[in-house]
C-alpha cells in the first residue's frame, strides 16, 4: 500500500524524514513496499549536485551521511510524482503552493503524507485540507506526521516518538510500521485536523516562550505560560474540530513542550530575539531559517476571527510581531490574567 516513497523538501526536517524513512526500509525490501530506496525532490539542482559530491545535505544536518545508492534525486517535481506511490511533503508551508504550481501529474491515486507544521498562506488551510480541497485527495489517501521531534535529535539517533494521523487506519498503520526503527517509535490517531492545528499553535507558543526568555522571565513563569498555552490549544481544537482527544498526548502537549523549551527550536530562538528588542526583520535575517510560527501567528489569528475562541497568548504574539507593540507590555498583560 505504501509502495515507493518520495520526499519533497530539502531542509532540516526533510533531511531527518529521509533518514527515518531509509532506516525504516532497511529490513523491508519486498516488492510491496517499493524496495529500500527513496526518491528525493529538491528544487535546486545545484543542491543535488553538492549532495552527491559530499554524501550529505550540504546545508542541513550535515553530520548525517547517506547511502547515495538508495536515493534517486530529482529537481523535477513531476518526475518525483510519476515514480512515487507515497509522497511525503516536508516543504515550509509558505512555499508549498509554488512547488505544486509546477505539478502536472495527478495526485488522486497517490498517498499524500504531510510533515508540514504550518498553514498555507492566503488559503488559511492546514495542509491536509489544502490537498483535499484543491487537489481532491480522498481522506483514505491522506495522512500527517506529528509529535515532538527535533530534526537535530533525529540526526543523532535519539529516541523519537511520532504519531501518524489519518482517518484511514490501514494507511496510518502501514506507514507507521514503515518508519519504525531502533530509535523511532510510532502510534496512530484519527485526529488529522487536530494534529495539524496543534503543530501550528505550538510554534506560536514557542515564540511566546522565547519572547519571555528574551525578557528575562524565569522558569516559574515559563511553566505557567506553557500550562496556559495547552489550555488555549485545547479550547481552539474543541472549537475547530470537536472530536474526543487527550491534549496531554505527546503529539499535542509533548510537541508543545519540546518546541517551547528546547534550544533546537527555531521558533523559540526567533521569539528570544524579539524579546531582546530585535526587529522582526533582523531576527529573520540572522536566523537564516524559517520560523513557521511567524506565519502561523497571522493565519491562526485570521482563522480565529471565525471561531472567536479566547486566545490571549496568540493575540499577544500577534500584536508583538505584526502591530509592533512592545513585547514587555504585552507579556506584562499576560502575567496579570494568568493564574
**Average pLDDT in the 211-222 region?**
96
- At residue 114 the predicted structure's pLDDT band, cuts being 50, 70 and 90, is very high
Strands 111-114, 38-41: pairing is: unpaired
Mean pLDDT confidence for 128-154: 97
Q: Which whole number is the average pLDDT over 203-214?
A: 96
| Residue 74 or 94, more confident | 74
What grid cell was written down for 242? Answer: 470537536
Who has greater pLDDT, 318 or 266?
A: 318
Q: Which segments of the chain belong to CATH 3.40.50.720?
A: 5-190
Provide DSSP, 17-31: HHHHHHHHHTT--SG
Q: Hey, what long-range contacts does 241-250 have (CB within 8 A, 24 or more apart)?
A: 241/191, 241/193, 241/194, 241/197, 243/190, 243/191, 243/194, 245/191, 245/194, 247/198, 249/163, 249/189, 250/147, 250/148, 250/161, 250/163
Q: How confident is the model at residue 31 (pLDDT cuts 50, 70, 90)?
A: very low
Q: Which of 28-37, 53-62, 190-199 has the lowest mean pLDDT?
A: 28-37
Asked whether 281 and 270 are in contact (CB, 8 A), the reply is no
pLDDT beyond 80 at 28: no
Residues forming CATH 1.10.1040.10 domain(s) in the chain = 193-337
pLDDT at residue 311 above 50?
Answer: yes
Please state which CATH number belongs to domain 193-337.
1.10.1040.10
What pLDDT score does 124 carry? Answer: 85
Q: Which residue in 76, 60, 85 sits closest to 6, CA to CA?
A: 85
Give percent above pLDDT 70 in the chain: 94
**How high is the mean pLDDT of the chain?**
93
What pLDDT is attached to residue 181? 95
Question: pTM score > 0.75 for this model?
Answer: yes
Q: What mean pLDDT do residues 175-184 have?
A: 96
pLDDT at 339: 86
Superfamily for domain range 5-190: NAD(P)-binding Rossmann-like Domain (3.40.50.720)
Alpha-carbon distance of 198 to 205, in angstroms, equals 10
Q: Which of 53-67, 181-195, 241-255, 258-272 has the lowest mean pLDDT?
A: 258-272
Q: Is the confidence at residue 277, as pLDDT, over 80?
A: no
Q: What average pLDDT does the segment 12-19 reach? A: 97
Amino acid at each position: 500500500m505504501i509502495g515507493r516513497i518520495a520526499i519533497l523538501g530539502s531542509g532540516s526536517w526533510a533531511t531527518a524524514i529521509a533518514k527515518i524513512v531509509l532506516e525504516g526500509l532497511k529490513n523491508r525490501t519486498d516488492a510491496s513496499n517499493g524496495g529500500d530506496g527513496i526518491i528525493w525532490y529538491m528544487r535546486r539542482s545545484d543542491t543535488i549536485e553538492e549532495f552527491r559530491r559530499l554524501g550529505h545535505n550540504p546545508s542541513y544536518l550535515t553530520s548525517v551521511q547517506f547511502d547515495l545508492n538508495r536515493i534517486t534525486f530529482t529537481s523535477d517535481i513531476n518526475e518525483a510524482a510519476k515514480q512515487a506511490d507515497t509522497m511525503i511533503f516536508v516543504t515550509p508551508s509558505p512555499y508549498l503552493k509554488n512547488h505544486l504550481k509546477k505539478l502536472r501529474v495527478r495526485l488522486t491515486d497517490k498517498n499524500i503524507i504531510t510533515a508540514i507544521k504550518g498553514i498555507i498562506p492566503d488559503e488559511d488551510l492546514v495542509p491536509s485540507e489544502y490537498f483535499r480541497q484543491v487537489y481532491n485527495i480522498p481522506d483514505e489517501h491522506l495522512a500527517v506526521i506529528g509529535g515532538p521531534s527535533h530534526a537535530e535529535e533525529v540526526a543523532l539517533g535519539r529516541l523519537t516518538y511520532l504519531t501518524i494521523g489519518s482517518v484511514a487506519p490501514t494507511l496510518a498503520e502501514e506507514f507507521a510500521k514503515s518508519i519504525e526503527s531502533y530509535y523511532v517509535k510510532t502510534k496512530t490517531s484519527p485526529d488529522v485536523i487536530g494534529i495539524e492545528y496543534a503543530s501550528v499553535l505550538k510554534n506560536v507558543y514557542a515564540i511566546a516562550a522565547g519572547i519571555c526568555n528574551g525578557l528575562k522571565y524565569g522558569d516559574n513563569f515559563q511553566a505557567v505560560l506553557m500550562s496556559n498555552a495547552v489550555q488555549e490549544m485545547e479550547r481552539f481544537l474543541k472549537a475547530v474540530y470537536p472530536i474526543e482527544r487527550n491534549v496531554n498526548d505527546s503529539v499535542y502537549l509533548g510537541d508543545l513542550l519540546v518546541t517551547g523549551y528546547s534550544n533546537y527550536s527555531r521558533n523559540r530562538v526567533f521569539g528570544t530575539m524579539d524579546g531582546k528588542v530585535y526587529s522582526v526583520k533582523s531576527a529573520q535575517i540572522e536566523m537564516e531559517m524559517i520560523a513557521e510560527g511567524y506565519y502561523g501567528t497571522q493565519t491562526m489569528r485570521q482563522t480565529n476571527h471565525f471561531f472567536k475562541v479566547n486566545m490571549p497568548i496568540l493575540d499577544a504574539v500577534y500584536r508583538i510581531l505584526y502591530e509592533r507593540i512592545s513585547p514587555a507590555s504585552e507579556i506584562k498583560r499576560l502575567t496579570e490574567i494568568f493564574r
